[in-house]
Structure 1
Amino acid sequence: MQTPSSANSVPWLSEHENAAWRSFLALSRSMERAIDRQLQRDSELSSSEYHVLVPLSESKDGSMASRELLRHLDWERSRLSHMLSRMEKRGMVCRKPSPHDARGLIVEITDHGRQAINAAAPAHLAMVREAFVDHLSADDMHVLVAMADDVIPRLEKMNLL
């Protein structure tokens, strides 16, 4: 592989490294597309709505500070704001002023939101299991978790997340 003259000092990926990197990207993108398609086919939720409802449905009281939800989702503030507005219009969540933070909001799952996530979860989890989990050994899963635990903090340290 020829390198651009301005990048001669860049350590190019070996054939094996390049194959691993491209395989990871293909897997990640393919799973995201499969999740989007499965949720569209089998539920009333988009994948983004599903991602918002999961932590709310798993919280003790069905609510979460918007800042905490933002950190959990790792989204831009404007994306979350637009998504919550759409979900409020559909009756899935409501936003309330925070009793502890004058500028903060509490996001709460509604009965309709809980019904939507409860209806969507079984088919979604079946797809995740069939397409991904059931094809991994316990060692594969351990390696995957270890990779994420190693790479994600480096991305945070590089201010890329």
Structure 2
Amino acid sequence: MRSLAADFPSREISFNEYDVMFNLSREPNRRIRLRDLNGHVLLTQPSVSRLVDRLALRGYVAKLTDPTDGRGAIIELTDVGYELFRRVAVQHMGTITDRIGDALSTEELTQLTTLCDRLRGEP
């Protein structure tokens, strides 16, 4: 992870900001409750809150009041944020591909994906 972060290809967003945007991009309507987002990233809750605030100031995410809990927040990846995420994702995938190369076969990559999904608690 340190190596990938060191070679992260964007000057517009940081590796951690990309991670938040990646997780938002995978959610229905590209939105998630802030407290649920905390479970998807390797940052402390206060760090995630500050990072989200920075992304919101730049227009990459919107921070909305949770209609079911006025104390909570829903974070939504904006169209501008999604376009930036997609552009950076293509570059980042190139970096990952350069590192991994042909070390794993397609079958092994499929198996690795299945195992990672299981570790994350996904079916």
**TM-score normalised according to structure 2 size:** 0.79
- Alignment partners' CA distance in 2, 1:90 and 1:146: 36
How far residue 36 of structure 1 moved from its aligned partner, in angstroms, is 2.0
Q: Which amino acid aligns with 2:7?
A: Q
Matched positions, count? 120
With a CA cutoff of 8 Å and minimum separation of 6, indicate the structure with the bigger relative contact order: 2
Q: C-alpha separation between the residues in 1 aligned to 2:94 and 2:6? A: 14
Distance in 1 between residues matched to 2:112 and 2:75, nearest whole Å: 35
> Quick check: which one's helix share is greater?
1
What CA distance in whole angstroms lies between the structure 1 residues aligned with 2:46 and 2:38?
10
Task: Provide, for residues 15-39 of structure 1, a one-character-per-residue CA deviation record: whole Å limited to 9, x for no partner.
Answer: xxxxxxxxxxxxxxxxx23322332
Residue 54 of structure 2 corresponds to residue 101 of structure 1: no
Q: In the superposition, relative to structure 1, how do residues 52 and 143 fare at CA in structure 2: closer, same or farther (>3 Å)?
A: closer
- Say which one has the larger Rg: 1
Equivalent in the alignment of 1:33: 2
Q: Which runs of 5+ in 1 are unaligned?
A: 1-31, 154-161
Equivalent residue runs for 1:3-18 within 5 Å: none
Q: Which residue of 2 aligns with 1:83?
A: 51
Secondary structure, counterpart of 1:106 in structure 2: strand
For residues 41 and 85 of structure 2, the distance between their equivalents in structure 1, rounded to whole angstroms, comes to 16
| C-alpha distance 46-146 of structure 1, shift in aligned 2 (>3 A) | same
Q: Which residue of 2 aligns with 1:128?
A: 96
For 1:147 and 1:125, locate their aligned partners in 2 and report how far apart those are by CA, in whole Å: 17
Partner in structure 1 of residue 35 of structure 2: 67
Q: Which amino acid aligns with 2:21?
A: L
Q: 1:45 to 1:147 in 2, by over 3 A?
A: closer
In the TM superposition, residue 130 of structure 1 has moved relative to its aligned partner by 2.3
* Residue matched to 1:115: 83
Q: Is the CA contact (8 Å cut-off) linking 1:43 and 1:119 kept in structure 2? A: no
Shift of 1:48: 0.3
CA shift at 1:79, angstroms?
0.8
Taking a change above 3 Å as real, the CA distance of residues 92 and 142 of structure 1, as seen in their structure-2 partners, is same
Give the stretch that moved more between structures: 45-54 or 100-109: 100-109
Please give the root-mean-square deviation of Cα atoms over the aligned residues, in Å. Answer: 2.7
> Percent identity among equivalent residues?
25
Report the TM-score when normalising by structure 1: 0.62
